[in-house]
Amino acid sequence: MEKQIDNDLIYNSYEEYIRKRITPTDLFYIEDEELVFEIFSLGLKSRGVLSLEDFNSTYKKKKRNEKKPVKEENKENILYDINLLYSNTKDFFFTMNYHLHFCKENKISTILFIRYVNKQKYEISSYIDINMEKVRDKINRKKYIYASKKDLSYYNWHNNYTCTNSSENYEIVINKKIGLIFKHIHTNKYFILSSNKELKIKLSDNIYKDHSSKTNIVDGKEEMIKLCHDIKRMEVNDSNYLQCVLYTLHL
| CB 112, CB 142: distance < 8 Å | no
Q: What percent of the chain clears pLDDT 90, i.e. is strictly above it? A: 45
More confident residue, 124 or 4: 124
Q: Is the pLDDT of residue 18 over 50?
A: yes
> What's the CA gap between 167 and 147, in Å, rounded?
15
Q: State phi, psi for 117 to the nearest 5 degrees.
A: -110, 125
Q: What is the pLDDT of residue 230?
A: 87
Q: What's the whole-number mean pLDDT along residues 78-100?
A: 87
pLDDT grade for 139, boundaries at 50, 70 and 90: very high
Q: Is the pLDDT of residue 172 over 90?
A: yes
pLDDT grade for 110, boundaries at 50, 70 and 90: very high
Q: Which amino acid is at 167?
A: S
Q: How many CA within 13 A on the CB side of residue 114?
A: 22
Q: Which amino acid is at 150?
A: K
Q: Is the pLDDT of residue 218 over 80?
A: no
Q: Is the pLDDT of residue 67 over 60?
A: no
> What's the CA gap between 133 and 193, in Å, rounded?
24
> What's the CA gap between 119 and 104, in Å, rounded?
33
Long-range contacts of 133-142 (CB under 8 A, 24+ apart): 135/100, 136/100, 136/104, 139/93, 139/96, 139/97, 139/100, 142/13, 142/93
pLDDT grade for 213, boundaries at 50, 70 and 90: very low
CA dist 192 to 45, 71, 95, Å? 46, 38, 23
